[in-house]
Amino acid sequence: MSELAVRAEKLDGADELAPLKSRFVLDGAVYLDGNSLGALPAHVPGRVEDVVRRQWGELRIRSWEESGWWTAPERIGDRIAPLVGAAPGQIVVGDSTSVNVFKALVAAVRMADEGRDEILVDATTFPTDGYIAASAARLTGRTLRAVTPAEVPAALGARTAAVLLNHVDYRTGRLHDLPALTAAVHAAGALAVWDLCHSAGALPVGLDEHGVDLAVGCTYKYLNGGPGAPAYLYVRSDLQDRFDSPLPGWNSHADPFGMDPSYAPAPGAPRGRVGTPDILSMLALEAALEVWDGVSVEAVRRKSLALTDFFLECVTACTEPGRVESVTPAAHEERGSQVALRCADAGDVMKRLIDRGVIGDFRHPDVLRFGFTPLYVGFAEVERAARILGEVLG
Amino acid sequence: MSELAVRAEKLDGADELAPLKSRFVLDGAVYLDGNSLGALPAHVPGRVEDVVRRQWGELRIRSWEESGWWTAPERIGDRIAPLVGAAPGQIVVGDSTSVNVFKALVAAVRMADEGRDEILVDATTFPTDGYIAASAARLTGRTLRAVTPAEVPAALGARTAAVLLNHVDYRTGRLHDLPALTAAVHAAGALAVWDLCHSAGALPVGLDEHGVDLAVGCTYKYLNGGPGAPAYLYVRSDLQDRFDSPLPGWNSHADPFGMDPSYAPAPGAPRGRVGTPDILSMLALEAALEVWDGVSVEAVRRKSLALTDFFLECVTACTEPGRVESVTPAAHEERGSQVALRCADAGDVMKRLIDRGVIGDFRHPDVLRFGFTPLYVGFAEVERAARILGEVLG
């Protein structure tokens, strides 16, 4: 047994989160792709079966009331809230991340002072945010400017209406400074919209504490909600009355069953709803969130950093110098819960890793991406992944 | 046995669609609310279980390719296509009806000649279409005018960019003349956008035949896709290259995994996609659509008219004159697959009907709404529903 394997065993023995692994369906593989699709929580299949067979099959339309279908978007939003540092009543679940970026950004522009004609967007963003921001700018008659998060403070000014940023960079795993950037955006008189896809469930976000204006995120990565599980929208409570949705569907009406031909927005988080919620996907997510019962996000963050630290150390020990290069920051305050390694032939290397039971993913053009979900990844797996990477790289 | 009950028995005996009922999970109730939420197809729970346990739980991210998750939106669109008279490659599934109304209407306005500054919307529409149309008009700088479908021909003119219409009125069950209205819209040089929520799966639509430009619809009514199942968007093939989406999410990119910061729309139906599809809801819908194997929409329409004819006859026979009044047109060419009865104390009457096992719904302020799904409703149930209505009304 190598020194690293011995250390891994000790780290696993001391890991207070290790018992959580039993809440998931896992196999012999080392699953380091929870930042793409979280693993299946073990109790979810039974719950989905109940939703399908009893709630839909037997109760049918009665389930809109009796099974709590109608209120699911805001109820599940409140379940996500503590994971991102939000008080209840500010998050609503539904639609995709892209659609929620659209709602949030158009609404932010409408909240901004009238003369402000520019939207800033993270130039390194996951592409959909940039595409949707361009559409939001076009439809609201604003100019879109792409800048890196580091350039944001200098780019802010009297023209800035809103800024759309990613908390963690999907490719490099870099964690951006949400408190400082939000403060800078506010100092310039603009609104900050954050995309939490790669941070929620992996590290503390502190939406309320840091005064974030609006935020969106997906639920199928570190929140393990299932493939394409609905996304969520956060609107800070004191901004909700000014939230003017570009997608004012009937579910966001103050009296949705009044069937009023004229629109009157609901108060609170439900104002962010649009159409009829996709109940099967939504209630699978609700069940999946139960794995968080009794789990502290701070403990998750501590383990996440220990896992990525140990992975970087093992990779250094197991690979020839220069064969891979981490593009993920070494500093803890700049690191999310993934490690991205630049590597020649990354696409081919990832295929061979997967054949050997180490599941990460490849991001064009040359990045091996490994996500570490502290709820179900342990240190022995980290050591094994790095060791097999070393073998694959020869 | 009453004369009507005897006739019902004969009609059931001659019903070529009667065997389809066994494809659904039903109980002793008379379920006349399939126009709100279709019944559960019997094979769907097993299929959903496979999606959750094997595709998500075991294959995880591999399912995006191996289980066909990535291509589900257009594959399922092609499965819906024949039910609404569309050739393959023109329908994509995903998002809610409201979100698809937004995509379709903004895109239609952008396809229209530049000087056209007015959108017409059905004044009697299900409210969400009107709310979303108002948002589309506001964001594209057009004026929105609400007119009844009967007023549309006179309202059309050189200013008209697009017209948003419902194929069947959600409240009265009135079927509008899609061929004639579409032709009138085209004669005025505008684009026709149809909402098929209350017609798809109940009667032939003939999208291609009648030259409809864009259409949307839900899948949880007569298509039995499950609560909040994803909606669909139809863009006629020769218009697809001009489809300029207001929600250009990464799923609609020509090379979605190229992660290109600049947007380039995909060709064909996938251009209507937005974000990551909600796989559980979507694959439940795909399974549900299998009940249509070997079923002709024309036969469904014949049975639908026979069911609603018979219901109206039974209601006349079972209720005191003047106690209820049908607001659904008597003429076949003006009737969808539901019957709406105006009735004093309709809310209370519906509660008592439901207590007696006749499930319809109440629409504010005074409408009893009964939907007839030919795939699983029989004539004996129709007679029983009318008889119990007579008893409840005293």
Contact B249 A128 (CB under 8 A): yes
Distance CA A104, CA A244 (A): 9
The answer to whether A40 contacts B33, with C-beta atoms less than 8 Å apart, is: no
Beta strands in chain B (DSSP E): 30-31, 91-93, 118-122, 143-147, 160-166, 191-195, 214-217, 232-235, 324-326, 338-343, 358-359, 361-363, 367-371
Alpha helix stretches (DSSP H) within B112-247? 127-140, 152-155, 178-187
**Cα-based torsion angle of the residue sequence B49, B53, B54, B55 in order, rounded to the nearest 10 degrees:** 80
Q: Phi/psi of residue A204, each to 5°?
A: -65, 140
Q: Which of A128, A253, A283 to mutate to test the interface with B (most CBs of B within 10 A)?
A: A128
What is the pLDDT confidence band of residue A394, given thresholds at 50, 70 and 90?
Answer: confident
CB contacts, 8 Å: B280 with chain A: 48, 226-229, 280-281, 284
Which residues does chain B have within 8 Å of residue A127's beta carbon, measured at their own beta carbons? 250, 253, 259-261, 263
CB A117 within 8 A of CB B229: no
Q: What percent of chain A has pLDDT over 70?
A: 100
Q: Do B99 and A95 touch (CB under 8 A)?
A: yes
- pLDDT higher than threshold 90 for residue A55: yes
Q: Angle, nearest 10°, between helix axes A279-288 and A72-80?
A: 30
Backbone angles phi, psi at A212, to 5 degrees: -55, 145
Rounded CA separation B141/B158 (Å) = 17
Question: Which residues in chain A have their CB less than 8 angstroms from residue B246's CB?
Answer: 102, 135, 139
Find, in chain B, the residue whose alpha carbon is nearest to that of A102: B247
Give me the residue from B97, B227, B249 closest to A96, CB to CB. Answer: B249
CA A351 to chain centre: 25
Coil, strand or helix: which one is B127?
helix
C-beta separation of B172 from B122 below 8 A: no
Instruction: Write out chain B residues lying below 8 Å of A52, CB-based.
Output: 40, 44-45, 48, 226, 284
Question: Across the interface, do A45 and B49 touch by the CB < 8 Å criterion?
Answer: yes
Choose the closest CB to A36 out of B25, B48, B61.
B61
**Rounded Cα distance, B161 and B30, in Å:** 44
State the nearest Cα–Cα gap between A225 and chain B, in angstroms: 10
Residue B379: both structure tokens together? 């004539």
Residues in chain A, how many? 394
Consult the annotation and say whether B332 binds a ligand: no
Active-site amino acid positions of A: 126, 195, 220-221, 369
A129 annotated as belonging to a binding site for a ligand? yes
List CB contacts of B359: < 8 A, sequence separation 6 or more: A60, A61, B29, B30, B31, B32, B33, B353
Which helix H or strand E contains A77, and what residues bound it? helix A72-80
Whether residue B285 contacts residue B219, with contact meaning beta carbons closer than 8 Å, is answered with: yes
> Is B279 within 8 Å of A281 when comparing Cβ atoms?
yes
Preceding amide of B73 cis, omega within 30 = no
- Which two structure tokens, joined as six digits, stand for B357? 């096992």
- Give per-residue burial for A330-359: e unless 16+ CB within 10 Å, then b: eeeebbbbbbbbebeebeebbeebbebebb
Q: State the pLDDT at residue B175.
A: 98
Show the domains of chain A with their CATH numbers: 3-17+295-393 (3.90.1150.10), 47-292 (3.40.640.10)
Interface with chain A: mutation pick from B50, B103, B128, highest number of A CBs within 10 Å: B128
Is position A127 annotated in a ligand binding site?
A: yes
CA distance B19 to B4: 22
* Pick from A94, A88, A101, A171: nearest CA to A130: A101
Contact list in A for residue B220 (CB cut-off 8 A) is 276
Whether residue A228 and residue B280 make contact (CB cut-off 8 A), yes or no, is yes
The type of residue at A14 is A
Closest residue of chain A to B274, computed from CA coordinates: A98
User: A201, A221 in Cβ contact below 8 A?
Assistant: yes
**Placement of tokens 């595409």 in the chain:** A131
Cβ contacts of A227 on chain B, cutoff 8 Å: 55-56, 63-64, 69, 276, 279-280
The answer to whether the CB atoms of B261 and A146 lie below 8 A apart is yes
| Cα gap A391→B212, rounded to integer Å | 59
The three-class DSSP label of residue B330 is coil
pLDDT for res A138 = 98
Burial A48-59 (b: 16+ CB within 10 A, else e): bbebbbebbbee
Q: Among B26, B32, B59, B96, which would you mutate to test the A interface (most chain A Cβ atoms within 10 Å of its Cβ)? A: B96
Look at the block and give the residue holding tokens 């006179």: B154
pLDDT the model gives residue B1: 84
Could you give the CA distance from residue A369 to residue A173 in angstroms, rounded to a whole number? 9
Instruction: Report, as residue numbers or ranges, the catalytic residues of B.
Output: 126, 195, 220-221, 369
Classify residue B89 as exposed, middle or buried by CB count within 10 Å of its CB (0-12, 13-18, 19+).
middle
* B69 assigned ligand-binding residue: no
CB–CB of B134 and A263 under 8 A?
yes
Model confidence pLDDT, tens digit, residues A320-358 = 999 999 999 999 999 999 999 999 999 999 999 999 999
B69 CA: distance to closest CA in chain A (Å): 9
Q: Is B250 marked as binding a ligand? A: yes
Structure tokens belonging to residue B119 = 């959108």
**Is A143 part of any known ligand binding site?**
no
The Cβ-side half-sphere exposure at A355, using a 13 Å CA radius, reads 8
B97 marked as binding residue: yes
The SS3 assignment for A264 reads coil
Peptide bond into B365 cis (omega under 30): yes
DSSP state of A28: S
Residue B145: alpha-carbon gap to chain centroid: 24
Sheet holding B191-195, edge to edge: B91-93, B232-235, B214-217, B191-195, B160-166, B118-122, B143-147
Q: What SS3 class is residue B36?
A: coil
User: Phi/psi at A244 (nearest 5 deg)?
Assistant: -115, 95
How many residues make up chain B in this entry?
394
Encoded tokens for A96 = 């995709």
**A126, closest residue in chain B (CA to CA):** B259
Q: Which residues pair with A253 in a beta bridge?
A: A265
State how far residue A194 is from chain B, nearest Cα, in angstroms: 17
Å between B3 CA and nearest CA of chain A:
32
- Contact B131/A359, CB-based, under 8 Å? no
Residues A46, A308: Cα–Cα separation, whole Å? 33
Q: Which two tokens stand for residue B286?
A: 């795909």
Q: According to the annotation, is B149 in a ligand binding site?
A: no
Of the partner residues B36, B249, B260, the one whose CB lies closest to the CB of residue A98: B249
Nearest of A272, A276, A256 to residue A264 by alpha carbon: A256
pLDDT (tens, 9 = 90+) of chain B, 394 residues, equals: 899 999 999 999 999 999 999 999 999 999 999 999 999 999 999 999 999 999 999 999 999 999 999 999 999 999 999 999 999 999 999 999 999 999 999 999 999 998 999 999 999 999 999 999 999 999 999 999 999 999 999 999 999 999 999 999 999 999 999 999 999 999 999 999 999 999 999 999 999 999 999 999 999 999 999 999 999 999 999 999 999 999 999 999 999 999 999 999 999 999 999 999 999 999 999 999 999 999 999 999 999 999 999 999 999 999 999 999 999 999 999 999 999 999 999 999 999 999 999 999 998 889 999 999 999 999 999 999 999 999 999 8
CB-based contact B102 A247, cutoff 8 Å: yes
Q: Does the pLDDT at position A71 exceed 90? A: yes
